[in-house]
Every structure is written in C-alpha cells, then in structure tokens.
Chain A
Amino acid sequence: DAGVTQSPTHLIKTRGQHVTLRCSPISGHKSVSWYQQVLGQGPQFIFQYYEKEERGRGNFPDRFSARQFPNYSSELNVNALLLGDSALYLCASSYWDGPIGYTFGSGTRLTVV
C-alpha cells in the first residue's frame, strides 16, 4: 500500500516567490494535516482539512494557505517567501477527524535563497 506521498521532495525558491506543495493521503484517508519542521525543532501545525473543510489552523501568517480536493489530496501554498520559510514541510493523513494515529509523509524540503 502506498503511504502518504508528497511532491516535490526538494525545492529551491527565491525570496518573494510563491510555492505549492502537494500531498496525497493514504487511500481511504479523509483527513490531511500540514506541519512545518525547522531544523532542530519539532514539527509545528499549520493546517488540518477533513472532508474538504478546514478544521484547524496554526499560528502562521496569511501567506500560508491550503485546500483539499474531492479525492482528498491537498495543496499547501506559501506566498511571498521569506528566508525563514526554509524548512521541511510534512503532510500527515488519517482516516477521520477523531482520536486516531496519523501517518506522515517524507516531506518536502524547501530552501528559500
């Protein structure tokens, strides 16, 4: 079975540019969450979507946005990139919105120069 897949795996962008990161959850999983992991720290929650609706938003600026598609895949968009946005962006999926474990993808390594 395919796990959570994220694309691209690595990305280099210039300050001020826009980036779109993609996530495909495990088949049958309806919930997708996004996290940012800066080197040396634990992941920080950005967004959660369940059944195509936003269910939670972390403490990130409005430059960060996301959406979930009818097939439950998801995109994370970041506008006006800053050097501080350089991080590993993780996607996690689960079957539903309740108390259940989350499966993480391998992440997209974003470097902003």
Chain B
Amino acid sequence: AQSVSQHNHHVILSEAASLELGCNYSYGGTVNLFWYVQYPGQHLQLLLKYFSGDPLVKGIKGFEAEFIKSKFSFNLRKPSVQWSDTAEYFCAVKEYNQGGKLIFGQGTELSVKP
C-alpha cells in the first residue's frame, strides 16, 4: 500500500534559520503532491501542490518544494523562517487515478524561537 514518510517529528529552529522538511512516498506511478500547514487552533491550509511540469514549486508565504521523481521525494524548503511559521506541516500524496484520496504523512511539528 502507498505510504508517506516525513523524516522529522519535531523541528526546532531560530528565526532566520533555513528550513527543509523531508517527505518520501512509496508509490511508483503518477502522483500529485501536496504540502499542508496547520497553525495552532486552525484548519489545514494548502501551502503548495505539484501536479506536473517544473519540479520546483513555489507556494504561499515564501515556501517552495522540489519534486525529485528518482528519489520519490517532495521536500519542503524555506530560506528564512519566522516565528509565525510555527505550525504542523503535513505532506500528502494522491495517486493519479484515486480521486480525492490523499495519503498524509504523520506530520512535522515546527517550532520557531524568536
């Protein structure tokens, strides 16, 4: 069965540090890839998505992610984090012909110290 693995459960950074959160998936076919963010007390919000084309995807709030097909990876990056980026981040994968079924990783909690 398809699975999604996020390498870090909890990441602690100081403001202005660079961020990279790892995400790997197991499915070998065509996939759609997503990163969602959940700020404390709020609902899941879409940060960015990849469907096809340029494997470097830019999202909201300065986040970007790179799809590396050969490594089955979709890592999230931000050059300089802010305190307001403190949240939980979820990577999700959808197999191309699987309708609305998103498979989520277990999430990475990011804490940014001011």
- Chain B residues numbered 72-107 whose CB sits less than 8 Å from any CB in chain A: 90, 92, 94, 96, 98-107
Question: Chain B interface residue count: which class?
Answer: 20 to 34
When the two chains form their complex, are residues A56 and B43 in contact, meaning their CB atoms are under 8 A apart?
Answer: no
Q: Which among A50, A55, A92, A102 has the highest number of chain B CB atoms within 10 Å?
A: A102
CB contact between A31 and one of B4, B100, B104 (< 8 Å): that residue? B100
Q: How far is the CB of A26 from chain B (nearest CB, A)?
A: 13
Q: Are A42 and B100 in contact (CB under 8 A)?
A: no
By secondary structure, the A interface counts as: strand
Q: Which of A35, A41, A56, A99 has the most CB of B within 10 A?
A: A99
A35 to B4, CA, bound (A): 16
Chain A neighbourhood of B51, CB < 8 A: 99
CB neighbours of B101 from chain A (8 A): 33, 45, 48, 56, 58
Q: How far is the CA of A101 from the CA of B34 in the complex (A)?
A: 8
Q: Show the binding face of A for B, using Cβ within 8 Å.
A: 31-33, 35, 40-45, 48, 50, 55-56, 58, 90, 92, 94, 97, 99, 101-107
